[in-house]
Amino acid sequence: MKSSSLSGLAIALGGALLIIVNAVFTPMLDTTVPFPQMMASDTYLWRLSLASLTVFLLMVGSPGIYAAQSGRSGLFGKIAFSLAFLGSALLFAHEWGQVFFIHSMALAAPDALQAMEDAPGLNAYDLESIIVVVTFTIGWIFFAISMLFARVYTRMVSVLIIAGFFAIPLLSALISPMWGGVLGNAVLGSGFILLGLEHLRKRNN
């Protein structure tokens, strides 16, 4: 019971941090300076650190969400949860690595970081980033769909989470990468907050 309640709290806090990171810290980044200089800034370090915490909270909270609906979501729910957990774990590792490696590289060897950024085609770092984002996105979309089938949580939870993942690239293209990301992540974060609060309420009842 206690562990399950902590799952709801972790998901809700993760959703709140997702909104804060993208609405507060992302707009504070100076995108007019060279890429390594931006990544060497204290603002970027704070953003990375909070982003790591955000994904960590979503990762540790997701098993409790699955446990609450496992009896109704079937095989699809199990696969969806596995993908969401794997995607969260990969994204956490990605963000964690940037905090302690990429930021340090930007400080100690900015020319090397710029050379990697300017290299034509996809390098290993680019490929890893794509795998991480795709796995995290597909995993949580499928997990949200499984919630629709299980009907343990309100339909709005799934709608907000699914809509958030689609809104981020769509609004980024229509408005701007920064402000489109802010609005899209606000939708996604609201879905996680609602999911966490609903889970907490169900466990308390």
Chain centre distance of CA 62 = 12
| pLDDT the model gives residue 16 | 98
| pLDDT the model gives residue 177 | 86
116-167 pLDDT per residue, tens? 777 787 888 889 999 999 999 999 999 999 999 999 999 999 999 999 999 9
58-91 pLDDT per residue, tens? 999 999 999 999 999 899 999 999 999 999 999 9
Share of the chain above pLDDT 70, in %: 98
Where do we find the tokens 């100690």?
108
Residue 102 to residue 96: CA distance in whole angstroms: 10
Residue 158 to residue 80: CA distance in whole angstroms: 13
Residue 90 CB: number of other CB atoms within 10 A?
20
Report how far apart, in Å, the C-alpha atoms of 144 and of each of 8, 62, 63, 76, 139 are: 15, 11, 14, 11, 9
Residue 99 to residue 102: CA distance in whole angstroms: 6
| Length of the chain in terms of residues written | 205
Kindly tell me if the per-residue pLDDT of 205 is higher than 80.
no
- Report domain extents, the chain: 2-204
Output DSSP code: residue 25.
I
Residue among 107, 124, 132, 115 at smallest CA distance from 45: 107
| pLDDT the model gives residue 5 | 78
Residue 99 to residue 50: CA distance in whole angstroms: 10
Residue 106 to residue 137: CA distance in whole angstroms: 28
Kindly tell me if the per-residue pLDDT of 2 is higher than 70.
no
110 — pLDDT class (breaks 50, 70, 90): confident
